């Protein structure tokens, strides 16, 4: 019944992954007319809910700890030869860890994931504002790789540090503080416009002083080394965990 469907691939991938930062597949039951998937119960909220309101952001230390947890999970995923292809705050569950009494994080939704040695239609994966240049502009003729996930982590890092995304659907100057602080989150970078596609393809973004003056240079350098147009120049998950911002 499962056959070679997208669901079959997701199940195969989830069976491969056993890590504290990844929601766990418990079991799969197949009958004549039904497929039942039992997943780990992760009672929490999407990270998106914590950052999507105007002016919302984490402290720099909070952002660092969240990204560290994401990187721990992604480093493991990549070591298994898997690309997630849809990393975004909506696919990161923020929950309480009863064993420590602290917040923890789990990566969910492997519907777009694939093994790195498989071919795929690059433009079909991911969510618009988190897509790397090689995915949003197939004409670049750059294959998708684990480094594509690293671009998405760069976008997430930027958002956590300042409260809005690095790439926009409107054409105004990125230093327009009023527009940035008053625009609904989803209009900033979930509308496919020429401005958005071009800014992602060219890697054009800024650190507006009003929002970034209080952020450390190490944090900005961390973001810069993930939002590189060339995948080869982006940090891997392993390298990102060793970056001075993370190791400080």
pLDDT digits (tens, 9 = 90+) for 189-229: 556 678 888 889 999 999 999 889 999 999 999 999 999 99
User: Which CATH fold would you assign to the domain 44-247?
Assistant: Transferase(Phosphotransferase); domain 1 (1.10.510)
pLDDT at 71 (0 to 100): 99
Instruction: Tell whether the model's pLDDT for residue 234 goes beyond 90.
Output: yes
**pLDDT tens-digit readout, 116-141:** 987 655 555 667 889 999 998 877 77
Q: Kindly indicate the confidence band of residue 35, based on its pLDDT and cuts at 50, 70 and 90.
A: confident
The pLDDT value given to residue 56: 57
Closest CA to 6 of 177, 152, 120, 135: 120
Is residue 182's pLDDT more than 80? no
Catalytic residues: 86
Around Cβ 203, how many Cβ atoms within 10 Å?
Answer: 17
| Tens digits of residue pLDDT in 65-93 | 999 999 999 999 999 999 999 999 999 99
* Residue 5 pLDDT greater than 80, yes or no: no
- The whole-angstrom separation of Cα 13 and Cα 114 is 8
Q: Residues 217, 223, 227, 231: what is their CA dihedral angle, to the nearest 10 degrees?
A: 100
Q: Name the residue ranges covered by the structural domains of the chain.
A: 44-247
Residue 15: the pLDDT is 94
28 burial via Cβ count (<10 Å: 0-12, 13-18, 19+): middle
């Amino acid at each position: 019944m499962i056959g070679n469907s997208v669901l079959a691939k997701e199940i195969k991938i989830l069976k491969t992954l056993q890590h504290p930062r990844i929601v766990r597949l418990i079991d799969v039951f197949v009958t004549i007319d039904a497929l039942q998937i039992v997943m780990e119960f992760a009672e929490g909220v999407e990270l998106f809910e914590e950052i999507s309101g105007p002016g919302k952001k984490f402290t720099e230390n909070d952002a660092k700890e969240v990204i560290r947890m994401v990187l721990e999970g992604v480093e493991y995923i990549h070591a298994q030869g898997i690309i997630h292809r849809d990393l975004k705050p909506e696919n990161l569950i923020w929950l309480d860890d009863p064993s420590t009494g602290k917040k923890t994080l789990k990566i969910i939704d492997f519907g777009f994931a694939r093994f790195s040695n498989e071919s795929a239609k690059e433009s079909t994966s991911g969510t618009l504002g988190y897509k790397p240049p090689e995915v949003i502009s197939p004409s670049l003729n750059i294959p998708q790789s684990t480094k594509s996930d690293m671009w998405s982590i760069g976008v997430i890092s930027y958002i956590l540090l300042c409260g809005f995304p690095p790439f926009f659907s409107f054409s105004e100057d990125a230093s327009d503080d009023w527009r940035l602080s008053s625009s609904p989150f989803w209009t900033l970078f979930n509308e496919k416009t020429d401005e958005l596609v071009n800014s992602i393809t060219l890697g054009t973004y800024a650190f507006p002083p009003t929002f970034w003056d209080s952020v450390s240079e190490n944090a900005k350098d961390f973001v810069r080394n993930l939002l590189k147009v060339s995948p080869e120049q982006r940090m891997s998950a392993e390298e990102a965990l060793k970056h001075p911002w993370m190791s400080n």
